[in-house]
Every structure is written in C-alpha cells, then in structure tokens.
Structure 1
Amino acid sequence: MLTALAIRDVVLIEALDLEFGAGLDALTGETGAGKSILLDALGLALGARGDTALVRHGATQAIVTATFDAPTGALAVLLDDNGVAVEPGEPLLIRRIVKADGGSRGFVNDQPAGAALLREMAPMLVEIHGQHDDRGLLAPAGHRDLLDTFGRIDARATARCWVALRDAEAALAAARADIETAARDREWLAHAVDELTTLAAQPGEEETLADQRRTMQRAEKIADDLAQIDDFLDGSDGGLAKLRQAARVLERIAPDHDSLAEALAAIDRAVNEGASAEDRLRDARAALTYDPRALEDDEARLFELRAMARKHRVQPDELPALADDLRTRLDRLEAGEGGVAALAKSVAAAREDYVAAATALSAARRGAAARLDAAVAGELAPLKLDTARFRTSVAPIDPAGWNASGQDRVEFEIATNPGAPFAPLTKIASGGELSRFILALKVALAEEGGAATMIFDEIDRGVGGAVASAIGERLARLAEVTQLLVVTHSPQVAARAAQHLLIAKSHDGTVTRTGVRRLDEQERREEIARMLSGAIVTDEARAQAGRLLETA
C-alpha cells in the first residue's frame, strides 16, 4: 500500500508531502489544477521516462519519493534477486531524481536502482487505470492468469505434465542425434573401441608404471655402489669376516684382562650390527633389482598409455571411462531404432498425459469464464453499459504454442452495441466506456488480489447522476479489499471517499504553484458543493452535498 508521496520541484509543485491511508482517497480540483502532475510524479518514481520537462522552472532537479508498506512475496523475491536489501518489516522507499540538464537516478531504500528495476516493481505496487491505459487488465498476456485466479484453478498438474513431456522429447531428440552422429562416425568409433579394448588401460596404471620406471632407473644408477659394498662386507677378506676372526682370537685371551673382555663384547656387537646391515642390503637389492627387459617393457607400456591419452585428448587415468563411453555409443548405434522406438513410446505417453491434463484445465477455464462473464454482466447495466456484452474468450492455440500453462488463449472481449461482433477491449471501447469496463472487471475480480494500490484517473468522465453514483458505490466496494486513489470530477464519487484531497493552483504574482491539502468535513462539504454547482456555490448545492455525504 502507498503510504506517502513526497514531491520536490516537479512542474508546478515546489514542495509537497502527502500521506495516504487504506480505503478510498478522492483527489478533486478544477480542470487544469494539476491533478495529472501527481500521477506523473508517482509514475516517475515507478520507472517512467525521466523527462527533463518535469523539472520545475528554475530548479536544478526534481525529486519524487514514494513510500510503501514492507515488501512481501514476489516483490521481496525480486528485490533480493537484484541485491537490494530490505529489513523485514521496514517500509519500502523508492526515490527518483531527474536533473534539469538531463539524466536520472533511482534508489530503493537508498540503494541505487535502475529504471528497469523500478518498472519491474511497478505492477506489483500500483495499478494505474486511465482512459488511454494499455496495461493491466487491457494486456491480453495477463488475462489467462487473471481467469485462473478468479476460478481458483490449479494449473500445476498441467505444468508437471508439460515438464515430463519436454524431458521425454529432449531424451528422444538426444538419442536420435547420437545415432545420427554415431552413424557418421561408425568406422572411427569401432576402431577407437577396438584399440582402447586392446590397450585395456586400468585406473591408476600410469602412476604405477611411472613409479616402477623411476625405481628401476635409480637401481641401475646405484648397482655399482651396492656391488662395492658387498665387496667390503662379504667374502673371506670382507670386513665382517675380519671381525669374526678377531672375535675368535679375543675369546681365548679375554679372561686375562677386563679391557679385553670389553673389546670382545664391542666386536660382538659390531658383528651383530654388520649382520643386520647385510640383511637390510639384501632387502634393498631385492627391491632395487634392475631388469633391463622389465624396464623396457614398463617404458613401452607407459608411452603407449600416454600416446593414447594424447590422441583422445584425455588424461591417461580417463582412458577406461572413455572406453566405456565409446562402447556405449557403439552399442546404442548397433541397437539401432530399438532404443529410439522405446523413447518415442515414452514421448507418446507423456503427450497423452499432458493433453489429458490440459483438456481438464481448459474445461475448468471455460467454467470459470462463464462465471466471470456473469459477474461482469451484473456490473454493466448500473454503469450505463446495459447494451454492451462482455465475454471471456477461451480459445485453443496451435500445438506449437502449447506450454506449461496449457493449450488455451484467454482474452477479455466486448461488444458495445447489439448485434456488433466481439473484439478486444481497446479496439472498440471509447475512453469513458473503457474506464467503466475496467471498473466492472475489477469489481468482479476483487478477490483476485494484484497490486495493493489502484489508481483510477477520471473514470467518471462524461457521466453523471445515477451512473456516477453507481461508479462511486463500486469504487467503495473495491476499496474494501485494496487501497484506491481516484482522480474525479464527480461529486457522487468524491462523497464515497474515506479521505478527500483538494488540488489547487496558487499565484503570488510571479510564480504559479500547485498544492494539495486534505479537507476536513466542512471543507469537504464545500468542495463537493462546488463540484455540484460550479463557480458559484449555492445553499442548495451545499444541502445536496450534505445529503450525498450522509448517504455515502
């Protein structure tokens, strides 16, 4: 809901701060007082073109700030998707600045926002209906959703069937494309599968072969060193043999002195450590065995794996998976139309499910259309549209246009005269008729929701008496479910308002300004009397104004 509007330096408005409440707000004033400026200012905040002509003469920039209730639902999601942070429960402030020398800037809660985002937010915040409006109810693109909401129709089953159908069609198309591609490359595919099968690469094989190769290459380099160590330790002239000979001599003379006994113990320890060293060397020789043939075989296998990987532009470890993938493609090709036939059956079944769901949806829409037509028809006669007819056209669309919302094109149509053909609203309705049709539709669709704020711009133009009273009564009913702002010249409509704003021009001899003020009960009676009688307000007009206010 729109709660406040602050305007600075817009056309004839120097500074204006307005507050709005729930229900029906009437905006009145003499012709030319500047009522359209308010709508232009609000439109500017909601992303309308930033025309420099809106900047008041002598000012450097025009600023409009619109305040709304805290955003919820789709609006909150839209703001979040665009990186605009809004604290829960905090009001929504939209500010637009237009400079006199060109250029404009937008802000949402003091965060920069482009005009495109403001325009996307606008229909979620405000609906503006004027005699030349081509949005909202007049846009056929939204009629189907409006009908579904009015009829409380759930289209989700049709949407699910549509997704299933599209998935099945995509799988069939992919299978056919694979077969077509595979058929063109059959010879290459068969050869690739054969050579990969022959190669029989294993996961991790390249790393294992590389490790073995490095080990054997290292063994080759240290083989001479190991042989030299053997010469030092093994044989009758080796170090260990000499130590054992020394130990045998010491055993005979060790009892002669304690130091000899200690020396014998030390040599025994050396012999034991030397034996341990021999065991470790033996293990090392076993692990570092250098086999020229084995090294050659490992290198040949390693180079073969890497060459195959380069050929197919994959890593060596990916060769087993590649072999499986190419084999699957070849199997699919060899399976031929069998797999495609199965997928085609799946598509046919999914299409049947979708058609069944969409047919049921169409039937529900036709039923809802009949109820909506009856509801609108009940509103036409009091609005002096008793010769007009309204219908909700639910027509099938070409299968190429089927989608998740079904198989229907929904459009609101009217025939203004008996025997005249039905046509879209904008094609045959005059300005006054169009506004009244919109009102009738809005009343019928009152529970549909939509924007929290609606504005009707001179919906009562060219009518009076009973028709104006009927318009006022319906606007009041509509204001029970949404905030309603009405720019009006009709006293019958103004009398229905919960709040009354007067728009007037003032002159100080050099500058003309437009101002707006909220009327109290006495001022409101006087304004309605002026609307009834014209420039000279008579006592009879005041009395009539009082009766209108009492009966509203």
Structure 2
Amino acid sequence: MLRCLDIRDVLIIDRLSLDLGPGLNVLTGETGAGKSILLDALGFVLGWRGRAELVRQGATQGEVTAVFDLPAGHAAQAVLAEAGIEAGDDLILRRVNAADGRKTAWVNDRRVSGEVLRDLSDTLVELHGQQDDRGLLNPRGHRALLDAYAGLDLAPLRAAWAAQRAARAELAEAEAALARAAAEEDFLRHAVAELDRLDPRPGEDEALDARRRMMQGAGRIREDVARALAALSDEGAEGRMRDALRWLDGAADRAEGRLDAPMEALNRALIELGEAQAGVERALEALDFDPAELERVEERLFAIRALARKHGVLPDDLGSFAEGLRTRLAAIDGGAAGMARLGKALAEAEAAYAAEAARVTAARQAAARRLDAAMAAELVPLKMERAVFATEVTAGEPGPEGVDAVTFTVATNPGAPAGPLNRIASGGELSRFLLALKVCLTGESPGLTLIFDEIDRGVGGATADAVGRRLKALAQGAQVLVVTHSPQVAAFGARHWRVEKRVAGGQTLSSVTGLDAAERVEEIARMLAGDTVTEAARAAARALLAG
C-alpha cells in the first residue's frame, strides 16, 4: 500500500506531501489543476518512462519520495533480495531529477538503477486509464493476466520447453558433426590406414635418429682405424720391431752387453704394441655394421618425419593424432545409432512438451470460460448487460509459455462483431470494461495499489454511480486511487483530496488539500453545479455522500 507521496519542485508543484490510506482514495479538481502531475511524479519515482524534464522552473532539482507498507511475503521482497537490499516493514523509494537531466534513485537509502525501480513498481502499483498501455489494454499481457487468474504454474511447461530445445540443439550439433566427418571420410580412412601401417611410437624418432648418426659416423672413421691396425700389424710396426730385435739378437754376443738394455726395451714395446693392436682390433669390430640396416633405419625415420609434416604434427604426436582420427571414424561408423538415440530423445522431449502445453491450454480455456462468466455478471451493474466479453484462446507461436495466444475481445451490442477491447469500445464503455475486468482479476494481484486515471470519463448519471460502487467494492481490503471528474464516483471515496492551482510570486503552483466532511460537500457540489454552487447542488452532494 502507498502510504505517503512527497513531491519537491516537480513541474508546477513546489512542496506537496500526500498521506494516503487503504480503501478508495479520490482526487478531484478542475481540468488542468495538476492531477495528472501527481501521477507523473509517482511514475517518476517508480521508474516509469514519462516526461523527460520534471524539474520546476527555477529549481536546481526535482525530488519525489514514495513510502509503501511492505507486509510479510510481499512480492517486492524477492526483488529487493535480488538487488541485495534489506527489506523492512517500510519500503522507501526516492528519485531525484537534476536540472541538467541526470536522474538518481535510492531504495531504502541504497542507490539503485531505474531497472530495479521498474521491477519493484510491477509488484507495487498498477495504473489504469482509457489510454492505458501498461496493463489491461495491451494484448501482449492478456495471456499473463489469464494465467494469473487461473493460478497456473508454468514452471513444468518452461522446463519441458527447455528440455526440448536442449534435445533439438544436441541432435543438430551431432548431425552437423556427422556431416563434417562424412565429408572427409575418404581422407580419414586413408590416413588411419597409413598411420596403422607405419605404427609410429613415442620416442621412436629420437632413437632412430641417434642410431642413424652412429652408423653414419662409423662409416667415416672405420677406414682410419683400419689403416692404424695395418700400421701396427706384422706388415707395419710390429714386423719392423721384430726384425730389429732379431738383428740385435744376432749381434748381441759380440756387443759385450751393450745391446741388452735396448733389447729388453724392444721386448717391452712389443708387449705394449700387442695390447694396442688388440684394442684397435676390438674397436674395428665394433664399427662394423650392415649397410642395409642403415638404409632400413633411414627409410623408417624419413617415413615418420614425412607423415608428421603431412599432418602438421610432431613425430612423437603421430600416435595421439591417429587415435583422434580413429575416434572421428568411429563417430561415422556409429553415426546411425547415435542419430537414432538422439532422435528418440528429441521425440520424447517434444511429446513431453506437447502434453504439458495441452494441459496448460486446457487450463487456460477453462479459466477463460470462468472469466467470461465473471465478466458477464460484473457488466450488469455497470449498465452493460447487453455487451459480450470473450476471452479468445487461439493457437500461437510455441514457446516457454505454451502454444496459445490470448486476446480479450468485446462486442458492445448483440449481433455486433467482436473485436479487440481497445478498438471496439467507446470511451465510456472502455472505462467500464476495464473496471469490470480489474474487479474480476484483482484477487490475483494482492498487495498492489490500483490507480484509475479518469477511468469514468464519458459516463454519468446512473452509470457513473455504478462505476463508483464497483470502485468502492474493488477497494475493500485493498487500496485504490482514483482521479475523477465524476461527482458520483467521488462520493464513494473513503478519503478525498482536491487539487487546485494558485499563483504565488508570479508563478503558477499546484496544491493538494485533504477535505473534511463539510469541504467534501462543497467540492462535490462544485462538481455538480460548476462555478456557482447552489443550495440545491449542496443538497444533491449530501445525498450522494449519504449513498
């Protein structure tokens, strides 16, 4: 419930504080007195899009504060929790419009965006008028209104829609992947066969390269080692040394011992030379290799490196690359089974969505019949017993909210064609249709402050009296704020304010005055009689107030 609206320096309002209460609150006044400015100010603090500039001429900023009672379990508390704002018994909204156009908002002294204000406003206030585009006249919102009236829980339907979309996306992705794989099937099979024949192993490239370099090095040094062995053999150093020892031995008897030491040295040298020769022979044997082996190593090494270059991977990664190709081939080979499985899952998801959508459609159709019956009963006291209201539930675009389109239609006279609510009804008729519809739907939106902006325009007499009675009934246990020019409607108000203009200091300003019992008589008499209030008008006003 809106408890207080405080306005500072907005348009032609300098200072205004309006204390509201439950039940039917009535605002009256001459045309142009500023009643619509009050609604503009309320819309501003609620984040609605309206006039671009609201600052009163000569002021540095305009400011509006609205205080709402917030009972436990109110829908606004979920919005506050989402925004990280602590909720209490009071909800205080404040918004400032600077002279340079900047707008700043606070909720319970926490700075917030306009989006948060609008989310809160959806749980706090509904505005209805003959040009209303936020609520009952907007066909895009009729389905949601019918769902609320029916008490429908759409969570299972939304879940079924999400599951269907996920299954369809998974199947489409699998089909695309299979198509891509099938387009390169020949390449995949050739590449896998080629890799399987070669069967490269991690680390094999490095091992083959080391073996190849070793064998190539052996070929280059073996000739020198063989020459060295020849130089040490009987044809080389060993033979010469043995010849020298033999010649010295033949001369030793005549040398009187002078050759003994050299001959001993030669014998030791022959022993060392033999060891050297044996070592060189062993080395030469180790350098022996099969030239065919070098050829085989080189062929495999070159084949591995060529295949790695062909596929743009490192030689050691050929194994994992081959495994990836095999996986893609397996997807092709098992594609039919996989597609069948995904297709079955999609069919099941579609069937589940269709069943849930059918359940919701049936619930909407039943609720539409109940709403039409309630509207027929509600239109009678509004002097529209010949009009026909119908809730059309037709096939719509499938989505998370179902497969239905919902439109409120009316036929104002028997036999007349039915059409959309905002195109068929005249001004006065539209007012009554909107009021009747809101009376029927109000139980589904508890905690809202309902505002009717001149919804009684174009009606008078007994019809205006009927409108006033329905507004009073709607306000029982709720809060309704009505801007009206109808004395019959104003007479049903539990609280009554008069909006009027005054000129102060060369400026035109608007003010709002709460009326007591005597002042209400004068105001309603003025609404009945015009500028000159007669005793007859006062008597008529008292009669209206007496009910």
TM superposition score normalised by structure 1: 0.72
In the alignment, structure 1 segments of 5+ residues that lack a partner are 210-296
Hey, what does 1:122 align to over in structure 2? 121
Supply the distance in 1 between the matched residues of 2:514 and 2:109 (Cα, whole angstroms). Answer: 29
Supply the distance in 2 between the matched residues of 1:457 and 1:11 (Cα, whole angstroms). Answer: 19
Hey, what does 1:529 align to over in structure 2? 525
Q: 1:13 to 1:201 in 2, by over 3 A?
A: farther
- 1:433-457 deviations in whole A, cap 9, x for unaligned? 2222111111111211166111101
Q: 1:487 to 1:308 in 2, by over 3 A?
A: farther
Determine helix, strand or coil for the equivalent of 1:14.
strand
Tell me which moved more, 477-486 or 538-547.
Answer: 538-547
Determine helix, strand or coil for the equivalent of 2:4.
strand
Q: Given that residues 50 and 98 in structure 1 are in contact (C-alpha distance below 8 angstroms), is that contact kept between their aligned partners in structure 2? A: no
**Equivalent position amino acid for 2:353 in 1:** Y
Supply the distance in 2 between the matched residues of 1:483 and 1:319 (Cα, whole angstroms). Answer: 76
Q: Given that residues 52 and 98 in structure 1 are in contact (C-alpha distance below 8 angstroms), is that contact kept between their aligned partners in structure 2? A: no
Q: Given that residues 308 and 318 in structure 2 are in contact (C-alpha distance below 8 angstroms), is that contact kept between their aligned partners in structure 1? A: no
Hey, what does 1:28 align to over in structure 2? 28
Q: 1:366 to 1:122 in 2, by over 3 A?
A: same
Q: Aligned-pair distance for 1:188?
A: 4.9
Supply the distance in 2 between the matched residues of 1:85 and 1:154 (Cα, whole angstroms). Answer: 27
Q: 1:190 to 1:143 in 2, by over 3 A?
A: same
Hey, what does 1:424 align to over in structure 2? 420
Q: Aligned-pair distance for 1:473?
A: 1.4
Determine helix, strand or coil for the equivalent of 1:506.
strand
User: Are 1:469 and 2:468 matched, yes or no?
Assistant: no
Hey, what does 1:62 align to over in structure 2? 62
Q: Aligned-pair distance for 1:507?
A: 2.8
Aligned-residue Cα RMSD (Å) equals 3.6
Hey, what does 2:430 align to over in structure 1? 434
Q: Aligned-pair distance for 1:51?
A: 4.2
Hey, what does 2:101 align to over in structure 1? 102
Supply the distance in 2 between the matched residues of 1:319 and 1:70 (Cα, whole angstroms). Answer: 68
In the alignment, structure 2 segments of 5+ residues that lack a partner are 207-296
Supply the distance in 1 between the matched residues of 2:383 and 2:345 (Cα, whole angstroms). Answer: 56
Q: 1:95 to 1:188 in 2, by over 3 A?
A: farther
Hey, what does 1:258 align to over in structure 2? none
Determine helix, strand or coil for the equivalent of 2:533.
coil
User: Are 1:404 and 2:417 matched, yes or no?
Assistant: no
Hey, what does 2:332 align to over in structure 1? 333
- 1:380-404 deviations in whole A, cap 9, x for unaligned? 232233332211110012xxx2112
Hey, what does 2:15 align to over in structure 1? 15
Q: Given that residues 96 and 104 in structure 1 are in contact (C-alpha distance below 8 angstroms), is that contact kept between their aligned partners in structure 2? A: yes
Hey, what does 2:388 align to over in structure 1? 389
Hey, what does 2:543 align to over in structure 1? 547
TM superposition score normalised by structure 2: 0.73
Q: Aligned-pair distance for 1:28?
A: 1.1
Hey, what does 1:244 align to over in structure 2? none
Hey, what does 1:277 align to over in structure 2? none
Q: Aligned-pair distance for 1:344?
A: 1.8
Tell me which moved more, 405-414 or 523-532.
Answer: 523-532
Q: Aligned-pair distance for 1:107?
A: 3.0
Q: 1:334 to 1:486 in 2, by over 3 A?
A: same
User: Are 1:2 and 2:13 matched, yes or no?
Assistant: no
Determine helix, strand or coil for the equivalent of 2:36.
helix
Hey, what does 1:224 align to over in structure 2? none
Hey, what does 1:444 align to over in structure 2? 440
Hey, what does 1:247 align to over in structure 2? none
Q: 1:146 to 1:508 in 2, by over 3 A?
A: closer
Supply the distance in 1 between the matched residues of 2:451 and 2:136 (Cα, whole angstroms). Answer: 13
Q: Aligned-pair distance for 1:348?
A: 2.3
Supply the distance in 1 between the matched residues of 2:79 and 2:198 (Cα, whole angstroms). Answer: 56
Q: Given that residues 149 and 448 in structure 1 are in contact (C-alpha distance below 8 angstroms), is that contact kept between their aligned partners in structure 2? A: yes
Determine helix, strand or coil for the equivalent of 1:382.
coil
**Equivalent position amino acid for 1:145 in 2:** A
Determine helix, strand or coil for the equivalent of 2:22.
coil
**Equivalent position amino acid for 1:336 in 2:** G
Q: Given that residues 86 and 92 in structure 1 are in contact (C-alpha distance below 8 angstroms), is that contact kept between their aligned partners in structure 2? A: no
- 1:109-160 deviations in whole A, cap 9, x for unaligned? 3343343443444333221112211121112222112112212233344333
Hey, what does 1:162 align to over in structure 2? 161
Supply the distance in 2 between the matched residues of 1:310 and 1:122 (Cα, whole angstroms). Answer: 66
Supply the distance in 2 between the matched residues of 1:199 and 1:518 (Cα, whole angstroms). Answer: 98
Hey, what does 1:380 align to over in structure 2? 379
Identity %: 50
Supply the distance in 2 between the matched residues of 1:310 and 1:27 (Cα, whole angstroms). Answer: 85
Supply the distance in 2 between the matched residues of 1:23 and 1:311 (Cα, whole angstroms). Answer: 81
Q: Aligned-pair distance for 1:329?
A: 3.4
Determine helix, strand or coil for the equivalent of 1:496.
coil
Q: 1:510 to 1:336 in 2, by over 3 A?
A: closer
Q: Which has the larger radius of gyration?
A: 2
Q: How does 1:208-219 map to 2 (within 5 A)?
A: none
User: Are 1:367 and 2:386 matched, yes or no?
Assistant: no
Determine helix, strand or coil for the equivalent of 2:480.
strand
Q: 1:502 to 1:193 in 2, by over 3 A?
A: farther
- 1:493-523 deviations in whole A, cap 9, x for unaligned? 2222221111122234633221112222232
- 1:73-128 deviations in whole A, cap 9, x for unaligned? 654444454xx442221533322222334333333333433434434443332211
Q: Given that residues 80 and 87 in structure 2 are in contact (C-alpha distance below 8 angstroms), is that contact kept between their aligned partners in structure 1? A: no
Tell me which moved more, 447-456 or 37-46.
Answer: 447-456
Q: 1:348 to 1:45 in 2, by over 3 A?
A: same
Q: Aligned-pair distance for 1:366?
A: 1.2
User: Are 1:491 and 2:487 matched, yes or no?
Assistant: yes
- 1:342-392 deviations in whole A, cap 9, x for unaligned? 322332233233223322321221111111111112222322333322111
Determine helix, strand or coil for the equivalent of 1:331.
helix
Q: 1:312 to 1:118 in 2, by over 3 A?
A: farther
Q: Aligned-pair distance for 1:193?
A: 5.9
- 1:187-231 deviations in whole A, cap 9, x for unaligned? 4544676688899999xx99xx9xxxxxxxxxxxxxxxxxxxxxx
Hey, what does 1:459 align to over in structure 2? 455
